[in-house]
Structure 1
Amino acid sequence: KEEAGNAVNETFLPITSSHYLYLSGTPFRAMHSGEFIEEQIFNWTYSDEQSAKENWKGKNNPYLSLPRMVMMTYKIPESIRSVASEGEFDGFDLNLFFSAKGKGEDARFVNENEVQKWLDLIRGAYLPASVDDLKIAVSLGVDKRPPMPFSDTRLLNVLSHTLWFLPSVASCFAMYNLLMQSQNNYYNQGYKINVCAGIKAGVGLDAVKPVIDSMGDPLVTRTITLTCGKLTTGVTVKPWTGIFMLRNLKSPETYFQSAFRVQSPWTVKNEKGEVEIIKHECYVFDFALDRALRQISDYACNLNSENTNPEKNVSEFINFLPVLAYDGSTMEQVNAQAILDITLAGTSATLLAKRWQSALLVNVDNDTLKRLMASTEAMTALENIEAFRNLNKELEVIINKSEAVKKLKKDGVEKLTPKEKKELTEAEKEFKSKRKEVQEKLMKFASRIPVFMYLT
């Protein structure tokens, strides 16, 4: 009743009844206002339908065509996000990042250079990482490049038709103008770009018709639809398989009303007259990681009035809506506890633990090693650990040999005899190997600190 703008007010109807049925896809406000008691609330949510789909016994599964949703969240590189970061704790502001000025053909992004970098980023052509993130990725033995929507072959195969949800009409036209520039031929030659914003776009069916018409045969075409609100409620565009959340949305009802636009089934009849499912999965892409996970937490907890355990609510929800998070170094599926941790503290235990594995935490240059050797207390404590029994000797080898090699190189390698050059190479290999060995031991030691922090 409160959510739907076109709802019928029953006080004007000449109908008398003692019972009413209120239907809503996202009834958060009504539930929170206390308008309905628990006995009056009946839920059938995304989790319920996906559970029914998975547990159906026998043939003719009526839920089979309902696609599974996957959320992929990304922390945008600092070199791009800095123009829209509001202090250390306020995070990344999507409305500020995608803010625009002007109308129609004259619309331009305020941060056009950064938005261009973002367009390069989502097609895998721009992914600088900080030194910290690079070293974490290398130390963990993983590829630092996460799957991007328009570069990863697994996603490209699915994302033929996407909806981009922007902050304003000006942002939609600014995005269209930028996408049509020559440096973005990847987009403007590979995709039909629709702008569904402003008065001229119409409302309801008038707004959706040009989008559907632009698709022609959606199995062979590709489209990108830009909106700032139109087509995010009350319409169905079956070929949409992904939505990009490019604006601030604080209320979970608005967020998921928009997100579920891409979850509508898409089936066709094949040559044999059989129904063939085209859309098995659909995607939500969010570039404000903390915000996205907070929406997941709020949605999962608010819709389940029977269970007051937040972790269980979130766990049940993401069992059917897996959430992948890229924190700048690695992309991983996050569990319920991690989502709640990030929601409350801005990071999860897993992500925090990985930061403790950063090679930057362990500096093993000569000056640092000399200071370590000069600290009797530190050396005594370390040598009590089995792995560091011969630490003093190892540090002496590293320092002496590295300084000897440095001196020889300074004097001129060309003056050395072949035998001396061979000895120099061997000495260099030895101290580098020893240095790496000590660093790895100290990194193992550092990685145990989060466990100690937890236990204490």
Structure 2
Amino acid sequence: MIKEFFPPRPESRPTIYAYEDTNPQYAGLLKIGYTTTDAQSRVAQQYPTLRPGKPPYRIVLEESAMRGDGSGFTDHDVHRYLRMIGIKNAKGEWFRCAAEQVKAAVIAVRTGQLNEENRSLDFKMRPEQEAAVEKTIDYFKSCRKENKSRPPHFLWNAKMRFGKTFAAYQLAKRMGWRKVLVLTFKPAVQSAWEEDLKCHVDFPGWQFISKKIGGLPYNDADKKKPFVCFGSFQDYLGKNPSTGGIKTKNEWVHTTNWDCVILDEYHYGAWRENAKELFEAEDEKEVEFGKGEGIDIYDEDSLPITTNGYLYLSGTPFRAIASGEFIEEQIFNWTYSDEQRAKQDWKGEKNPYAALPRMVMMTYQLPDAIREIAMQGQYDEFDLNVFFSAEGLGDKAKFKYENDVQKWLDLIRGSFMPTSVDNLKLGAQKPPMPFSDVRLLSVLSHTFWFLPSVASCHAMSNLLKKKQNNFYHDYAVVVAAGSAAGIGAAALPPVQEAMDEPLKSKTITLSCGKLTTGVTVRPWTGIFMLRNSSTPETYFQAAFRVQSPWTVKNPDGATPNQEQIIKEECYVFDFAPDRALRQIAEYSCRLNVNESNPEKKVEEFISFLPVLAYDGSSMKQIDAAGILDMAMSGTTATLLARRWESALLVNVA
């Protein structure tokens, strides 16, 4: 009798689904239906005849058909909305449209708002984004009370993949801003700023002003509606070379009183002396572009722009913090360690950090027979710029020490004779080389090789083509260097074309600076650091390129909300161990501002970014004390090997 008072909740799950039929006659059409079970079962019922091979359909959308107030809706409501906005209804439940348009329609029906802009993104802020927005709002409000005459400035010290564009827009919305100027030294980041504003349901009516082809010009924007203007320092703040004044076409930027100016990739413009290294070895036009030719000053007090506040965004703002430019109250930190800890500690379902790969650094002390020609520098250590130095361009480019570079190519695929003999003795304990270890070989289909110069990129391409390097002929080699490769994001399309079907293809991208910032290439799984880098900013800015998440949505064609993670880990390969360990020590000590003990700082960092070192015979994992020994004293890798003897031996069996 008691069961009468506690009836179980029915397992009904109102769902809108859409699928495409693989038969050519249905090309471009989607069938949009409704079910109270799950889409997979419902669609399978419509194809009762079992056939060999894959199902003749692919489910592209599965969304809840329930509103926030508990009321539901059906496919008829979605059909009606699609017809209302002009989507062609081919017949019955079949519509000529894309999955994004169906999702936008579902959102419109669910929220009861006319989704005229077909916005299909509806994700929420993650906890750290919420924290960044709240801390910034609190600081801005407190500054207004204390000092109304000086606009507040705030720094987000947040690594790549933090989601700065979305969080910045949420900040703008909560602050009630209507005129936002985004300035960057890397125009390649425009797509991320544009997509979040135009496609997310939280920003209806917002306009995105840019100068790119097909973009919305300032004069055509509706000034009664909120807008974001995106541009480069080089353009908006550069001076007219003939008059020395502001460019006439940009006067409106300087006469507008902005609610907020957002400075993206701040570390580029803030430290002019660093610009040479950041853009070193690229062609002259790229160097001028990167330095921001025609700009005298970047500090906010002298910018010829009026605004009510500044927001600085950077993943490596170390010098700005060290100089005291920002105090603790003006900084929100989100580091690689924070991200990986959040990934590890997540308790609920759908871990939002799950797809962010862990980084592993693998350092190799090269055999004397290879490295002796390039031993120099402060600690008489291996100099990568010397080793990979080259002359000539195009087909005529050649390494100065081509025989030694050839030995290196043999080494990384396990065929350098002296080490091959050692490996036979070691058997199962042989160290994992990038292109010989089966486990690495299976994941390193797409790698980025960071070289010293345009000439060395061309020389490497030429050397890889030679008959003795038949192994590398399976890889499409892309030279992303020099003026022919294009400036900024223009160098990206050839890489994407070479990858074609990334799960099947193999590529090697050669660069000496291009594509190291502002772009996302998901299939890159390893970076080879084949050049000197004097600062951890430039080193890790490049290294984090390979940490982009790589997932496949709807892996079985029947679960559109499922994601399969392709890249669980990514790799940094370094052949100058002394340099690599110094970078780790310096970077981790600068990152963690809340810890005073250097060893603890390094220990925390390498708990999420393990460092494996090959000392010429075996590969071992280095502990924090070992890294600091070298970083503080300049100990050579040979002497440091004694320290490694007490470290954890990596099981490479």
TM-score interval for Structure 1 and Structure 2 normalised by the shorter chain = 0.7 to 0.9
Which residue matches 2:460?
Answer: 175
Q: Which is richer in helix?
A: 1
Change (3 A) 1:348 1:337: farther
Change (3 A) 1:81 1:347: closer
The alpha-carbon deviation at position 245 of structure 1 amounts to: 0.1
The alpha-carbon deviation at position 103 of structure 1 amounts to: 1.2
Which residue matches 1:186?
Answer: 471
**Given the alignment of the two structures, is residue 161 of structure 1 paired with residue 446 of structure 2, yes or no?**
yes
The alpha-carbon deviation at position 199 of structure 1 amounts to: 0.3
Is 1:172–1:195's contact at 8 Å kept on the other side of the alignment? Answer: yes
Amino acid aligned to 2:610: P
1:210 to 465, 487, 494: 494
1:73 to 363, 382, 404: 363
Structure 2 SS opposite 1:128: helix
- 1-side partners of 2:437 and 2:420: how far apart? 22
Is 1:70–1:283's contact at 8 Å kept on the other side of the alignment? Answer: yes
The alpha-carbon deviation at position 143 of structure 1 amounts to: 5.8
**Given the alignment of the two structures, is residue 53 of structure 1 paired with residue 343 of structure 2, yes or no?**
yes
1:16 to 300, 307, 314: 307
Structure 2 SS opposite 1:42: strand
Which residue matches 1:319?
Answer: 607
- 2-side partners of 1:194 and 1:259: how far apart? 19
Is 1:144–1:329's contact at 8 Å kept on the other side of the alignment? Answer: no
- 1-side partners of 2:514 and 2:345: how far apart? 36
The superposition leaves residues 119-148 of structure 1 with CA deviations (integer Å, 9 ceiling, x where unpaired) of 0000000152599xx69x97xx78663100
The alpha-carbon deviation at position 9 of structure 1 amounts to: 7.0
- 1-side partners of 2:585 and 2:377: how far apart? 24
Is 2:588–2:601's contact at 8 Å kept on the other side of the alignment? Answer: yes
Change (3 A) 1:264 1:122: same
The superposition leaves residues 56-81 of structure 1 with CA deviations (integer Å, 9 ceiling, x where unpaired) of 00201100010000000000000000
- Structure 2 unaligned blocks of 5 or more: 1-262, 270-289, 293-297, 647-653
Alignment of 1:389-428 (within 5 A): none
The superposition leaves residues 95-132 of structure 1 with CA deviations (integer Å, 9 ceiling, x where unpaired) of 0000001111100000000000000000000152599x
Is 1:127–1:145's contact at 8 Å kept on the other side of the alignment? Answer: no
Structure 2 SS opposite 1:279: coil
Alignment of 1:230-309 (within 5 A): 230-269=514-553, 270=555, 271-272=557-558, 273=560, 274-309=562-597
Change (3 A) 1:145 1:56: same
Structure 2 SS opposite 1:21: strand
- 2-side partners of 1:164 and 1:128: how far apart? 25
The alpha-carbon deviation at position 13 of structure 1 amounts to: 6.0
- 2-side partners of 1:155 and 1:176: how far apart? 22
**Given the alignment of the two structures, is residue 3 of structure 1 paired with residue 278 of structure 2, yes or no?**
no
**Given the alignment of the two structures, is residue 150 of structure 1 paired with residue 435 of structure 2, yes or no?**
yes
Change (3 A) 1:9 1:206: farther
Which residue matches 2:406?
Answer: 116
**Given the alignment of the two structures, is residue 99 of structure 1 paired with residue 389 of structure 2, yes or no?**
yes
- 2-side partners of 1:347 and 1:142: how far apart? 24
Q: Which is richer in strand?
A: 2
- Structure 1 unaligned blocks of 5 or more: 357-456
1:330 to 613, 618, 630: 618
- 2-side partners of 1:263 and 1:333: how far apart? 21
- 1-side partners of 2:365 and 2:600: how far apart? 26
Which residue matches 1:125?
Answer: 415
Is 2:365–2:637's contact at 8 Å kept on the other side of the alignment? Answer: no
Which residue matches 2:318?
Answer: 28
The superposition leaves residues 210-253 of structure 1 with CA deviations (integer Å, 9 ceiling, x where unpaired) of 10111001010000000000000111101100000000001000
Is 1:38–1:305's contact at 8 Å kept on the other side of the alignment? Answer: no
Change (3 A) 1:31 1:220: same
Amino acid aligned to 2:538: T
RCO higher in structure (CA 8 A, sep ≥6): 1
Instruction: Quote the sequence identity (%).
Output: 62
The alpha-carbon deviation at position 32 of structure 1 amounts to: 1.8
- 1-side partners of 2:428 and 2:317: how far apart? 42
Is 2:615–2:638's contact at 8 Å kept on the other side of the alignment? Answer: no
The alpha-carbon deviation at position 209 of structure 1 amounts to: 1.0
Amino acid aligned to 2:319: R
TM-score (norm 1): 0.72
The alpha-carbon deviation at position 34 of structure 1 amounts to: 1.6
Is 1:338–1:349's contact at 8 Å kept on the other side of the alignment? Answer: no
